[in-house]
Structure 1
Amino acid sequence: MIPTPPDRGRVRPAAVVNEEIRQLWLDPRVRLSPETRARYEVLVAEWTRAEQAESLRGGIVEAA
């Protein structure tokens, strides 16, 4: 199954995405399955976009 990229209109905070990455890969000594690896790659791309968006906003996070 190919993971679906997140909605590009809304960017989750980098810290939220980072936490999801950490939960996905709790033990770095363990290799990820192909499905989990694909999800990891999607999350890393999302985290990169979130970091860029936060940098452009000057690190200001909008209130919910």
Structure 2
Amino acid sequence: MSPTPSAPTGAPVPASEANESIRRFVRARRGVAWSAQDMAEYAVLLEIWTLAVRSEVVEAA
């Protein structure tokens, strides 16, 4: 199962959920060299988190 949070409605996931997905992902790979696939998935998780944070900032404005 992928740690990537899903957003079936197209709406960004909450930043806290995206952040927790990143934490789980990194913890699962502690002490192990990351593969190219790991780095690619991490980049996707960071993009999801970035979109979530941007969305929350816009909503707060």
Superposition TM-score, scaled by structure 2 size: 0.71
User: In the aligned structure 2, how far is the partner of 1:35 from the partner of 1:44?
Assistant: 14
Give the alignment's Cα RMSD to 1 decimal: 2.2
- What is the count of residue pairs matched by the alignment? 53
5+ unaligned residues in a row in structure 1: which ranges?
A: 1-5, 60-64
Equivalent positions of 1:1-64 (< 5 A) are: 9-26=10-27, 27=30, 29-58=31-60
Superposition TM-score, scaled by structure 1 size: 0.68
Between the aligned residues of both structures, percent identity stands at 32
Q: CA deviation at 1:32?
A: 1.6
Structure showing the higher helix proportion among its residues: 2
5+ unaligned residues in a row in structure 2: which ranges?
A: 1-5
